[in-house]
């Protein structure tokens, strides 16, 4: 018996805790955290708010501001993840409700009476459009992608350029009333949108308007602008913006900007087969693993916009980690990195009774602690990423 115990102990020590977590474990974590998202944040759950088809900014009515539009897209993305993973209609049943609530509670909708989905922040519209495209992807309902295409054509792409104006020479605007600020957060998602409209063009049955290849040309143009202006080709860093004075802000390097840049690069690689895009994506991802990670985790992010940044990175990073055309050692590095992060979050950062995550990797929220929407979404996105992370072969 003593010899058997010794063998078991040696076996356990030879394989880290992360290796002990199987697909069932990650699915259980994802299920629990998405259910906690709905229970604690979906506005219509609460007595007296039967038609509040909107995700509250704080758990259990602790923050009901509607001044934040873009997290709604990521909350819907999480529901889409859960629906695509499980096929459970409890998630898709919320789609039409959110479709009603998101534009109704959009704080900027009155600024543009032509379109209640419009927002003064171009990137906010982009996140919404990306979610709409995914709603089409998982349901086949063309109303979702028709709206996405209209918003891109009418409100997002027109903010590009002018291409002959120095020193910007193009770029998608960050905010409609700050036309000369060209940000990573508006260009990366825009390139993704254009690439996906190209990919889904035939399936969506588009007949009028721009031809299919126009979207691919726009995706490449936007991506190339971001690469030339905001991407450090030596380190893989993605800088935040080129401001209204034409200066590049190099002090702000955020995971979500790297996520959408590598996501667009990977999407273009899959369309074109051009290896430069895959190389760009790999270099950008490596900046996060090698330069933004300390003691095995990323920075804590407990509230506000920053609470969502890591989650957006995980969404696109996991797709890259699954890319079979990557060298095996790179795939293994990315696979182990994501698994390590998820293991720490699940084991130390998530309250296993409430299934809430407050944005602290190694300290779970107390049972009665109110949690912000944005870190909870990041937690959900990491758990969902683990459910689609493919085994190494």
Q: What is the pLDDT of residues 20-79, one digit of tens each?
A: 699 999 999 999 999 999 999 999 999 999 999 999 999 999 999 999 999 999 999 999
Position 393 confidence tier, pLDDT thresholds 50, 70, 90: confident
- Give 300-347 pLDDT, tens digit per residue: 999 999 999 999 999 999 999 999 999 999 999 999 999 999 999 999
- What per-residue confidence (pLDDT) applies to 7? 34
In a domain, 211, yes or no: yes
- What per-residue confidence (pLDDT) applies to 220? 98
Token pair in block for residue 52 = 């509040």
Percent of the chain with pLDDT over 70: 95
Token pair in block for residue 2 = 């003593």
Nearest to 247 by CA among 156, 181, 300, 312: 181
Task: Give the separation between CA 305 and CA 366, rounded to whole angstroms.
Answer: 22
- Give 289-304 pLDDT, tens digit per residue: 999 999 999 999 999 9
Kindly report the CATH number assigned to the domain that includes residue 377: 1.50.10.20
With b meaning 16 or more CB within 10 Å and e meaning fewer, what string describes 293-327?
beeebbebbbbeebbbbbbbbbbbbbbbbbbeebe
In a domain, 20, yes or no: no
In a domain, 14, yes or no: no
Position 179 confidence tier, pLDDT thresholds 50, 70, 90: confident
- Give 365-382 pLDDT, tens digit per residue: 999 999 999 999 999 999
In a domain, 281, yes or no: yes
Contact present, 270 and 198 (Cβ < 8 Å): no
Q: Which domain holds residue 107?
A: 36-388
What pTM was estimated for this model as a whole? 0.94
The more confidently predicted of residues 393 and 140 is 140
In a domain, 27, yes or no: no
- What per-residue confidence (pLDDT) applies to 377? 99
- Give 216-255 pLDDT, tens digit per residue: 999 999 999 999 999 999 999 999 999 989 999 999 999 9
- What per-residue confidence (pLDDT) applies to 20? 63
In a domain, 8, yes or no: no
Total domains, the chain: 1
Task: Give the separation between CA 313 and CA 85, rounded to whole angstroms.
Answer: 19
Task: Give the separation between CA 225 and CA 47, rounded to whole angstroms.
Answer: 49
372 burial class (0-12, 13-18, 19+ CB within 10 angstroms)? buried
């Amino acid at each position: 018996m003593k010899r058997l115990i010794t063998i078991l102990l040696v076996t356990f020590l030879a394989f880290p805790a992360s290796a002990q977590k199987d697909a069932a474990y990650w699915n259980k974590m994802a299920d629990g955290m998405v259910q906690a998202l709905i229970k604690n944040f979906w506005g219509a759950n609460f007595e007296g708010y039967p038609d509040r088809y909107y995700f509250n900014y704080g758990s259990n009515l602790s923050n009901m501001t509607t001044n934040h539009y873009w997290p709604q897209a990521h909350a819907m993305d999480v529901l889409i993840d859960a629906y695509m993973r499980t096929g459970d209609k409890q998630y898709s049943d919320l789609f039409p409700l959110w479709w009603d609530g998101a534009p109704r509670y959009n704080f900027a909708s009155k600024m543009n009476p032509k379109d209640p989905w419009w927002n003064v922040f171009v990137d906010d519209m982009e996140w919404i459009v990306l979610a709409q495209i995914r709603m089409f992807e998982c349901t086949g309902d063309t109303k979702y992608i028709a709206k996405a295409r209209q918003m891109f054509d009418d409100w997002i792409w027109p903010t590009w350029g002018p291409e002959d104006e120095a020193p910007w020479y193009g770029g998608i605007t960050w905010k409609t009333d700050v036309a000369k600020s060209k940000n990573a957060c508006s260009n990366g998602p825009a390139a993704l949108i254009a690439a996906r409209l190209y990919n889904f063009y035939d399936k969506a049955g588009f007949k009028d308007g721009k031809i299919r290849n126009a979207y691919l040309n726009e995706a490449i143009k936007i991506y190339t602008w971001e690469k030339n202006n905001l991407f450090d080709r030596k380190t893989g860093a993605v800088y935040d913006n080129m401001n209204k004075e034409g200066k590049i802000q190099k002090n702000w390097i955020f995971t979500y900007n790297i996520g959408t840049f590598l996501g667009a690069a990977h999407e273009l690689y899959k369309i074109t087969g051009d290896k430069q895009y895959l190389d760009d994506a790999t270099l950008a991802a490596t900046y996060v693993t090698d330069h933004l990670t300390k003691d095995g985790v990323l920075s804590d992010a407990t509230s506000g916009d920053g609470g969502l940044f890591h989650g957006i990175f995980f969404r696109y990073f996991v797709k890259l980690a699954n890319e079979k055309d990557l060298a095996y050692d790179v795939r293994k590095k990315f696979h182990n990195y994501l698994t390590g992060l998820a293991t720490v979050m699940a084991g130390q950062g998530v309250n296993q009774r409430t299934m809430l995550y407050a944005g602290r990797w190694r300290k779970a929220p107390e049972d009665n602690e109110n949690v912000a929407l944005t870190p909870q979404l990041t937690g959900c996105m990491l758990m969902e990423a683990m459910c689609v992370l493919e085994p190494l072969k």
